[in-house]
């Protein structure tokens, strides 16, 4: 699928990290790692602050996307009525389903306005196209069956010389309203900070921001949209060294923020066309997200005060992901760390690009079987609650990355006060031994994930506590059975997992 983000995501992340390290902003290694350089096990003590909640995220924190290109191509291989697909989708609930991407700015409903020939576009393969009422029916019927809440991306490049033209968008909304389909929210435009790569001239950000105000005014006049969200602007470049993009973002927010329910940014670490295996578990790559979130929060405090951040489209690698990497076990390191960092930095929703499509889909492009990140996402949904807890790690915290939440009691039978820790060991040669002084000699339920078979980190098969995960013949998920043990916890090299403390009695989780 065509993915313009290949051109926009920060290309100078290494330079940024070096500058931040010089200024004391990037994470640094603890002495324990240096002292234990040649040992087979690195030990560290973890403290979870259980007396108060650090942040609270949405119940739909882990959400998914489908690219607008699927609508152009009649869903490609994605069978929306498949029992397998329906089963896999239901187990991710609750989620937002974002329909968006580069091609949303070329989408029209039924009849394309003849006056808009897009002669000002730079790429000949980006052409306006129509979707039919059947495509919308397919989408909303599927969403209803699996319980997903649709966020629909509107075409912002449907414009007169001055501003956005709402008439085609109103035709879409009128049809959705007539059919009684629930609509969780709207977006307007995809990655407008890089419209200069699509168009011969990018509209000024103040004008685009006013278009959001126009859409909000329309939403307030349409009763069925009274409770729908409006999120944006889906900018894609949070690179701290690129003043032009930051300036665009701030001017856009100044004009649009009062119309928005949340501020969306897009985030990728790597170019899928050239990404390497070791980058998927490299701490310096993982740290990029923390830097970008710090930048985004700083901007919002001044230019969109009180608004929450969403990762409106995100994965490890753009360009439809990295073949044989984004759909293998190794992808889980960047995905799980992203979920941990995003929650800790009060990102309300993380929209995974994508549920289906390319190499980064949660389900396989051809077979529709679950990819490794699907199993990781389902376990996250089951075990991790919305209340985020602070964690301090004494030792090699860049290579052993630890996060904690109150346990999700809506999908488990764990008692009040339970705590779920999830952790990644990205050492390539050392196991990590985690002690929890506050939970000394406590029982802990271990959900350890490891790759299966000779492909190692490139494996598409994942084992939970040594048992390969797979669907049964009726496409039902297996039972996720933990291994109960006493603390401490040992995490094998280059693996990750979830660890539930059922008797933590955390006051923040009662």
In a domain, 13, yes or no: no
311, 423: one domain:
no
* CA–CA gap between residue 189 and residue 192 (Å, rounded): 6
Range of the domain at 90: 57-386
449, 467: one domain:
yes
Q: What angle do CA 354, 462, 449 make, to 5 degrees?
A: 100
Side-chain-facing half-sphere of 211: CA atoms under 13 Å:
28
* Total number of domains constituting the chain: 2
375, 501: one domain:
no
In a domain, 3, yes or no: no
36, 69: one domain:
no
* CA–CA gap between residue 479 and residue 487 (Å, rounded): 24
Q: Is the peptide bond before 233 cis (omega within 30 degrees of 0)?
A: yes
The one-digit pLDDT tens for each residue of the chain (510 residues) are: 444 443 344 544 444 443 343 333 333 333 334 334 446 899 999 999 999 999 999 999 999 999 999 999 999 999 999 999 999 999 999 999 999 999 999 999 986 543 444 445 656 678 899 999 999 999 999 999 999 999 999 999 999 988 999 999 999 999 999 999 999 999 999 999 999 888 888 899 999 999 999 999 999 999 999 999 999 999 998 765 688 899 999 999 999 999 999 999 999 999 999 999 999 999 999 999 999 999 999 999 999 999 999 999 999 999 999 999 999 999 999 999 999 999 999 999 999 999 999 999 999 999 999 999 999 999 999 999 999 999 999 987 789 999 999 999 999 999 999 999 999 999 999 999 999 999 988 999 999 999 999 999 999 999 999 999 999 999 999 999 999 999 999 999 999 999 999 999 999 999
Closest CA to 493 of 422, 442, 433: 433
* pLDDT at site 330: 98
Burial class (CB in 10 A: 0-12, 13-18, 19+), 124: exposed
The whole-model pTM stands at 0.93
Which residue numbers are catalytic?
191, 313
262, 248: one domain:
yes
The pair of structure tokens assigned to 439 is: 């939970």
Burial class (CB in 10 A: 0-12, 13-18, 19+), 441: exposed
Task: For residue 112, report the phi and psi dihedrals to the nearest 5 degrees.
Answer: -80, 130
Tell which of 351, 370, 386 closes a domain: 386
In a domain, 375, yes or no: yes
117, 169: one domain:
yes
Tell which of 329, 363, 386 closes a domain: 386
In a domain, 23, yes or no: no
* pLDDT at site 472: 94
Q: Decide if 388 contacts 350 (C-beta within 8 A).
A: no
159, 36: one domain:
no
* CA–CA gap between residue 18 and residue 14 (Å, rounded): 6
Q: Decide if 412 contacts 380 (C-beta within 8 A).
A: no
Regarding beta strands 443-451 and 483-486, do their DSSP bridges make them parallel or antiparallel, or are they unpaired?
antiparallel
The owner of tokens 């560290």 is 44
């Amino acid at each position: 699928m065509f993915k313009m983000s290949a051109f926009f995501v920060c290309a100078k992340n290494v330079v940024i990290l070096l500058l931040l390290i010089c200024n004391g902003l990037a994470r640094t290694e603890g002495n324990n790692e240096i002292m234990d350089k040649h040992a087979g096990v690195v030990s560290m003590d973890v403290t979870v602050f259980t007396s108060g909640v650090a942040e609270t995220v949405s119940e739909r924190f882990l959400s998914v996307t489908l690219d607008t290109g699927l609508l152009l191509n009649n869903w490609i291989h994605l069978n929306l009525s498949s029992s397998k697909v329906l089963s896999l989708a239901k187990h991710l609930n609750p989620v937002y389903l974002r329909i968006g991407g580069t091609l949303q700015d070329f989408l029209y409903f039924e009849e394309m306005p003849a006056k808009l020939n897009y002669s000002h576009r730079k790429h000949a393969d980006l052409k306006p196209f129509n979707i039919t009422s059947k495509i919308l029916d397919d989408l909303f019927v599927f969403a209803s069956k699996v319980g997903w809440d649709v966020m629909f991306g509107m075409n912002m490049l449907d414009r007169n010389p001055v501003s956005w033209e709402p008439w085609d968008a109103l035709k879409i909304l009128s049809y959705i309203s007539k059919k009684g389909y629930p609509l969780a929210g709207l977006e307007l435009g995809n990655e407008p900070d890089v419209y200069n790569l699509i168009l011969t001239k990018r509209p000024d950000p103040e004008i685009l921001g006013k278009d959001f105000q126009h859409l909000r005014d329309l939403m307030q006049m349409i009763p069925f949209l009274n409770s729908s969200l409006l999120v944006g602007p889906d900018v894609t470049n949070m690179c701290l060294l690129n003043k032009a993009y930051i300036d665009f973002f701030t001017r856009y927010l100044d004009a649009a923020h009062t119309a928005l329910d949340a501020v969306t940014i897009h985030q990728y670490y790597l170019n899928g066309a050239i990404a390497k295996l070791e980058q998927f578990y490299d701490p310096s790559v993982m740290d990029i997200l923390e830097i970008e979130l710090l930048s985004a929060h700083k901007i919002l405090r001044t230019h969109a005060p009180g608004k929450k951040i969403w990762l409106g489209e995100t994965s490890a690698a753009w360009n439809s992901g990295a073949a044989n990497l984004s759909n293998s076990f190794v992808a889980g390191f960047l995905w799980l760390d992203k979920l941990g960092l995003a929650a800790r930095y009060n990102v309300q929703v993380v929209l995974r690009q994508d549920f289906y499509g390319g190499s980064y889909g949660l389900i396989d492009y051809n077979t529709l079987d679950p990819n490794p990140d699907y199993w990781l996402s389902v376990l996250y949904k089951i075990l991790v609650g919305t209340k985020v807890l602070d964690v301090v790690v004494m030792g090699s915290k860049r290579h052993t990355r630890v996060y904690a939440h109150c346990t999700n009691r809506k999908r488990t039978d764990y008692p009040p006060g339970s705590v779920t820790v999830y952790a990644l060991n990205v050492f390539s040669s050392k196991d990590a031994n985690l002690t929890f002084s506050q939970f000394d000699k406590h029982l802990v339920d271990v959900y350890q994930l490891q790759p299966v078979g000779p492909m190692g980190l490139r494996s598409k098969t994942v084992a939970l506590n040594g048992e390969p995960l797979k669907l049964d013949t009726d496409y039902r998920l297996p039972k996720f059975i933990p291994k109960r043990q006493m603390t401490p916890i040992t995490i094998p090299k280059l693996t990750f997992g979830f660890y539930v403390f059922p008797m933590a009695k955390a006051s923040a989780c009662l």
